[in-house]
Amino acid sequence: MGLFRTEGFQVVVDLELRLIKEFRDLIAEDKNREKKNVLLWFGYIYHMHDYKSPYQLYEEKERHIRVLKDLGLPAEFKLTKRMNAAIAKYQELQTTPAVKTLTTTRQALTSAEKAIGALTRKIELLLADDSDDESDAVGAAVKSVTKLLELAERLPKMTDVINGLEDRVKKEQSGDSRLRGGGTVGMFED
């Protein structure tokens, strides 16, 4: 479901969003006449929880900090009850088996990158160790290097899998509403 999209580096809200209670309540929460706050809130929801967001490369805490900073929201920004409800509804509407698989695979890739960093630090510590039992340190370092190389060999395959999943999700998202001739099905059309 495409409730948000990006156009010219801006998050654009589709009108059908107002038909869903959780989003309608969030719009009503914004007391600003031009509804500037709710556009920032929707931008936050999109960049934090949409698989297409460029911020999905970051872990949740870092993503939160970067999204707040880039949207110009205060660092002490807190999610309201209505905003949490809108986030939950957005995640529900967005989640398909393909999106869920893509998200899980991205998280696995992030974990693998952390493992590579940890193994690299461990190898450096083992080789920097000036203890008398150098043969054990070298043996442990060689085992860690072997694990590191095995993991590094799998990462390009994992990246290819993620790219394939992204393509599948894009087809899934765009394929439902296309008509012959390039038109799209309207919200109330069958």
Residue ending a domain, among 94, 119, 152, is 94
Query: N- to C-terminal Cα distance for the chain?
Result: 15
pLDDT at 41: 93
Going by the DSSP 8-state scheme, the letter that residue 89 receives in this structure is H
Could you tell me if 110 and 76 lie in one domain? no
Whether residue 112 sits in one domain with residue 60: no
- Decide if 181 is inside a domain: no
* Cα 39 from Cα 138, distance rounded (Å): 57
87 shares its domain with 110: no
Handedness of CA 99, 100, 105, 110 (dihedral sign): positive
Taking the CB of residue 34, how many other CB atoms lie within 10 A of it? 8
Torsion of CA 23, 29, 34, 37, to 10 degrees: -80
- Assess if residue 110 is contained within a domain: yes
Res 81: pLDDT: 95
Residues 83 and 9 in one domain: yes
Q: Which of the given ranges, 19-23, 133-137, 174-178, has the highest pLDDT on average?
A: 19-23
Q: What is the per-residue pLDDT across 44-71, written as a single tens digit (0 to 9) for each?
A: 999 999 888 889 888 889 999 999 999 9
Q: Which range marks the domain in which residue 59 is found?
A: 4-94
How many distinct structural domains can be found in the chain?
2
Q: 61 and 115 share a domain?
A: no
Question: pLDDT value at position 190?
Answer: 45
Residue 50: count of CB within 10 angstroms of its CB? 21
DSSP letter for each residue of 55-88? GGGS-HHHHHHHHHHHHT--TT----HHHHHHHH
**Chain Cα centroid distance, residue 154:** 22
Average pLDDT of the residues in 24-42? 89
- Report the C-alpha gap between 119 and 122 in whole angstroms: 5
Same domain, 35 and 103: no
| 64-91 pLDDT, tens digit each | 999 999 999 999 999 999 999 999 998 8
How far apart, in whole angstroms, are the C-alpha atoms of residue 175 and residue 187?
15
At 186, is the pLDDT very low, low, confident or very high (cuts 50, 70, 90)?
low
Q: Are residues 82 and 113 in the same domain?
A: no
Q: Which of 94, 109, 125 is the last residue of a domain?
A: 94
Radius of gyration for the chain, computed over Cα atoms and rounded to the nearest angstrom: 22
Q: Is the pTM of this model over 0.75?
A: no
85 and 22 in contact (C-beta within 8 Å)? yes
In this structure, are 70 and 57 located in the same domain? yes
C-alpha dihedral (66, 67, 69, 75), degrees to nearest 10: -100
